[in-house]
Amino acid sequence: MRVQAQTKILGVFGHPVSHSLSPIIQNAAIEALGIDYVYVAFHVMPEDLAKAVDGVRSMNFAGVNLTIPHKERVIDFLDEISENARRIGSVNTIVNKDGYLVGESTDGVGFLRSAEAAWGKLGGGRAVILGAGGSAKAIAFALGDAGFEVIIANRTLERAEELAENLNDDFGKGRAGSVGMCKDALGADIARADLLVNTTSVGMKPDLDGIPLPPEMIHAGLRVYDIVYDPRETRLVREAKSRGARALNGLGMLIHQGAMSLEMWTGQKAPVDVMEKALREL
């Protein structure tokens, strides 16, 4: 890739950002497509976010991704946000349309596409989501769109209740429920579920022995999706496989949300296989 005067700038704003894998996958895709872009990671402190977003306009970046901790706060600094970003209250992608900044979220659809790439079309059913933070929200709405009934299970029950209420407001009563991490109630919900998604940080490095629920709850009919990808195989994924369940880590979501962002910026279909290969070869 040759960076020259006309090269269009893409990037990610985060704090921290030095471990981001987005530059690897995006630049691999850019190179494979033979387009004149470069994707750079920018360390942006929370108090500097407004100035950094102004920089997207003033320096005419083609677009940026947002990661922790900017996804919610950035909304105040944009000209428009999509309906999807509005309902989840989070933006991970800014598209610069001649200085007019539009915010979108590709997290939820990235999750869904990656699950369907691995497992085939998901025709709905019952899903239990562990966690009630930003990732849980994006995934819950995407699963709602895909026809799932969604149960939010969270350590802090009030946050689960609030998210379930938002989902019911959007999809109609009875489509979502909430549960704490209490063994009996959660166990009963998981026994009836087709899909289990972990959005908590339990099991993420350095918490290698951590598992977000008692492993006995996992049954062979369950599809398990852990959005954690460091380590590549969490204890949850290991326990799921050993019980005959199908299980995925979070690399697919990372790749597909990035692929969708790249498509929004360039109008070209992103080479998902190239992006996957770039990560495998790290």
List residues binding ligand ATR (CB under 6 A): 131-136, 154-156, 159, 199-202
71 is catalytic: yes
- Residue whose CB is less far from ligand ATR, 29 or 228: 228
Which has the closest alpha carbon to 190: 212, 162, 166?
212
- Residue whose CB is less far from ligand ATR, 71 or 113: 71
User: Minimum CB separation from ligand ATR for residue 166, in Å?
Assistant: 14
Token duo for residue 75: 């909304």
How would you classify the pairing of strands 80-81 and 93-97? unpaired
- Residue whose CB is less far from ligand ATR, 55 or 133: 133
User: Minimum CB separation from ligand ATR for residue 255, in Å?
Assistant: 17
Coil, strand or helix: which one is 267? coil
List, in order, residues 6 or more apart from 238 with CB less than 8 Å away.
none
User: Minimum CB separation from ligand ATR for residue 178, in Å?
Assistant: 12
- Residue whose CB is less far from ligand ATR, 38 or 256: 256
CA-to-CA dists, residue 104 to 3, 77, 178, angstroms: 27, 13, 27
- Are the beta carbons of 78 and 57 closer than 8 angstroms? no
Q: Given CA atoms 201, 205, 206, 212 in this order, what sign does their dihedral have?
A: positive
Continuous H helices in 34-98: 49-58, 83-88
- Residue whose CB is less far from ligand ATR, 62 or 228: 228
Q: Which of 8, 71, 97, 121 is catalytic?
A: 71
R_g of the chain, CA atoms, integer Å: 19
- Are the beta carbons of 152 and 136 closer than 8 angstroms? yes
User: Minimum CB separation from ligand ATR for residue 116, in Å?
Assistant: 21
User: Minimum CB separation from ligand ATR for residue 195, in Å?
Assistant: 17
Active-site amino acid positions: 71
